[in-house]
Structure 1
Amino acid sequence: MSIKKVIYKKLLKNLSTEPFDVTFWDGSTIHYNDGISKFRLTFNKPLNRKSLKENPMIALAEGYMDKDIEVEGHLEYVMETIFSKQSSFINQPKKKLSKSTKKGNNKQTSKENASFHYDIGNDFYRLWLDPTMNYSCAYFKSEHDSLYEAQVNKMNHILKKLNLQPGQRLLDIGSGWGHLIIEAAKQYNVRSLGITLSEEQYRKTLERVEAEGLVGQVDVKLMDYRDLMNENITFDRIVSVGMLEHVGHENIPTFMDNTHKLLKEGGVALLHCITGLEEVEGNEFLTKYIFPGGAIPSIRELIDHMSQNNLRIVDVESLRRHYTLTLRHWVENFESNIDKVRDQFDERFIRMWRLYLNACAANFTYGVSDLHQFLITKGVNNDLPMTRDYLYQEDE
């Protein structure tokens, strides 16, 4: 065996729990693990040795993106077998955060990071999201729910948890394409404000608000959450869905402090975000190619900073398995519209997003990350229902 192949053999021997084949650029093949192969990796050319040794995850991901590696087999399944192999390189202990490695996103970088991901174009996201344009974990009352049904379920689930009352003021931090603030106004007759850093989302939300005839009741602003303090306004309810993952560990105290200051006494907030068990640096593939500046907050750091700001936890719910189903729907829609995606982007982009969506589905299946909804109040609130029954009562 050549010296080049020795590096691959050492790296790949602990890659997966399942039997698989690896075919190299010279046509030779190595079989790993006992049994009939479940998938095959084909290396069309050697990868950069230095990159492979220093950061195998990035090297293999870029090899796939550049067509230097082909995968025969379902990509999500392949990633599931890698995540389930505790000794694989992808499951090695992540670098813990320290004061020297913690990175915060200032207002300028936050704007640039949001634009990098969310301003790819509404036409792209429209191809594989559901008609509500919700780009976050859905809520499946049944595994047979369509993606649209599950996203409507999620929206109603959140709004019920907030226990909205007519005339109240609602703030959505990171309001996406505006579905939540519009539905809150329509269903509960509240005044809602959404803020976003994405110009594409901002423009689309304005269009939707006008089309629904809600101008004056629903508003959206293109602004950073840290600037809202200058508006001299408070809210009865605050919601944030899929935004905390973008602030960075360093800014979680600021986010919680602002939530406390923007929320009226006794007010209710719901934070919906991906969570981890420990404070670690962001996944290098995601921060390089998908979500620059992103970092998954740990449950304990979120709870710690909530308590420091007199934000009392009323309820916590995990939706991890719902996110796996959500991502599988996104993958199906993405692949069903691949020709239209190809009209907008090159093959490297397509393979990058294919890897991202499938790897994320596998990630949630094996609990590498979780998804939690935290229902919190500013100080004591004795007016919320005492049980969860109200969440599951069908609307008349």
Structure 2
Amino acid sequence: MLRHTRARDRHSIAHHYDISNDFYGLFLDPNMAYTCAYFLEEETDLERAQLAKFEHIARKLRLKPYQSLLDIGCGWGSFIVHACKHYGITAHGVTLSRQQANYANDWIRREGLEDQALVEYRDYRDLVGEAQYDRVSAIGIVEHVGYRNLARYFHGIQRLLKDNGLFLNHGISRAREWRPNPGSDWISDKVFPEGEPPSLSTVITQLEDTAFEVQDVEDLRAHYAKTCAEWVKRLQRNHEACLRHVDEQTYRTWILYLAMSSIYFEEGQIFLYQVLATKRMERFAPVPLTREDIYA
């Protein structure tokens, strides 16, 4: 079980995400979405699938104008920009990648969203205040939190979320019986240091232990297998361009990492779950009686 101190987490995030924004841009979609896409149809391209992912999350969160959103581990700001432009919310993002924070704020300024959105280079553990946000999203962050910190992580979100708020946790999971193996050790050493994807049962137990009520769970494993495979194809197509930003060894490392990840998702060694939760209250949760509004 890893320590996940602030210093170690900053180093691990920088190792993975601060390679080069230009390098990431050669295999991600134009919105720089580095999380599982959502393929409405088998032939949907990556760009549309990533936009569909943002829309899927926004609908699950039931976003409405003037609501406040906290996006933990916000990446390059893609969901924040989408939500502010299309739903009229205000958004606050935090990330431990300086390159991501700089990119996101430049993007926010280009879109003229300075009055609606801000991204900070900040540890989620340093967020203060009570009941500040109507909605909280955590898209691809729980893998970085660490088992020891899960209780504190969910307690912090519970504290920051308003009583009538919604929280969506989107993250990689492992099976309860998972054990380290040479492949996972290589990924931890070369690409994804300090990564500890928790099992779905651990996530749900921790949510329940911190007074959350789980409203919805969805498995997107097949979507992430396809996403990683698409990223590999794009890297291969852009081999020469990649070498202007990273060396050959780094390029090959990322090809192998993403190909392995796609296979692991296909084989059911890892999973991707979206879990929607609310604070546990006497009154009913602020969600409709059915899921029909998500798909309307």
Q: TM-score range by the shorter chain?
A: over 0.9
Alignment of 1:146-157 (within 5 A): 146-157=45-56
Q: Which letter maps to 1:181?
A: I
Alignment TM-score, normalising by the size of structure 1: 0.72
Q: Residue 386 of structure 1: which of 280, 289, 293 is its match?
A: 289
Please give the alpha-carbon distance, in whole angstroms, between the structure 1 residues aligned to 2:116 and 2:179: 40
What residue number does 1:254 align with? Answer: 152
Alignment of 1:7-22 (within 5 A): none
Gaps of 5+ in 1: 1-101
Of all paired residues, the percent bearing the same amino acid is: 37
Alignment of 1:216-295 (within 5 A): 216-229=115-128, 231=129, 234-278=132-176, 283-295=184-196
Larger Cα Rg: Structure 1 or Structure 2? 1
Shift of 1:266: 2.5
What residue number does 2:105 align with? Answer: 206
Secondary structure at the aligned position of 2:244 is classed as helix
Alignment TM-score, normalising by the size of structure 2: 0.95
Please give the alpha-carbon distance, in whole angstroms, between the structure 1 residues aligned to 2:139 and 2:105: 19
Structure having greater relative contact order (Cα 8 Å, sep ≥ 6):
2
Q: Residue 346 of structure 1: which of 247, 263, 268 is its match?
A: 247
Please give the alpha-carbon distance, in whole angstroms, between the structure 2 residues aligned to 1:173 and 1:113: 16
Please give the alpha-carbon distance, in whole angstroms, between the structure 2 residues aligned to 1:211 and 1:308: 42
Secondary structure at the aligned position of 1:343 is classed as coil
**Number of equivalent positions:** 291
What residue number does 1:166 align with? Answer: 65
Q: Which letter maps to 2:285?
A: N
Q: Deviations over 1:256-290 (max 9, x none)?
A: 11111111112100000011121756621111011
Shift of 1:330: 0.3
The answer (yes or no) to whether the contact 2:73–2:139 under 8 Å persists in 1 is yes
Structure 1 window deviating more from structure 2 (242-251 vs 147-156): it is: 242-251
Please give the alpha-carbon distance, in whole angstroms, between the structure 2 residues aligned to 1:143 and 1:186: 28
CA RMSD of aligned residues (A): 1.3
Please give the alpha-carbon distance, in whole angstroms, between the structure 2 residues aligned to 1:213 and 1:344: 29
What residue number does 2:90 align with? Answer: 191
What residue number does 1:310 align with? Answer: 211
What residue number does 2:274 align with? Answer: 373
Please give the alpha-carbon distance, in whole angstroms, between the structure 2 residues aligned to 1:203 and 1:313: 34
The answer (yes or no) to whether the contact 1:104–1:247 under 8 Å persists in 2 is no
What residue number does 1:60 align with? Answer: none
Please give the alpha-carbon distance, in whole angstroms, between the structure 1 residues aligned to 2:285 and 2:191: 42
Please give the alpha-carbon distance, in whole angstroms, between the structure 2 residues aligned to 1:349 and 1:144: 30
The answer (yes or no) to whether the contact 1:239–1:270 under 8 Å persists in 2 is yes
The answer (yes or no) to whether the contact 1:279–1:297 under 8 Å persists in 2 is no
**Is residue 326 of structure 1 aligned with residue 227 of structure 2?**
yes
Q: Which letter maps to 2:132?
A: T
What residue number does 1:73 align with? Answer: none
Shift of 1:391: 1.0
Alignment of 1:79-98 (within 5 A): none
Q: Residue 118 of structure 1: which of 2, 5, 17 is its match?
A: 17
Please give the alpha-carbon distance, in whole angstroms, between the structure 2 residues aligned to 1:277 and 1:261: 29
Shift of 1:104: 2.6
Shift of the 268–279 alpha-carbon distance from structure 1 to 2, 3 Å rule, reads farther
Q: Which letter maps to 1:261?
A: R
Secondary structure at the aligned position of 2:127 is classed as helix
Shift of the 195–279 alpha-carbon distance from structure 1 to 2, 3 Å rule, reads farther
Please give the alpha-carbon distance, in whole angstroms, between the structure 2 residues aligned to 1:216 and 1:108: 32
Q: Deviations over 1:29-78 (max 9, x none)?
A: xxxxxxxxxxxxxxxxxxxxxxxxxxxxxxxxxxxxxxxxxxxxxxxxxx
Please give the alpha-carbon distance, in whole angstroms, between the structure 2 residues aligned to 1:164 and 1:355: 37
Gaps of 5+ in 2: none
Q: Deviations over 1:5-42 (max 9, x none)?
A: xxxxxxxxxxxxxxxxxxxxxxxxxxxxxxxxxxxxxx
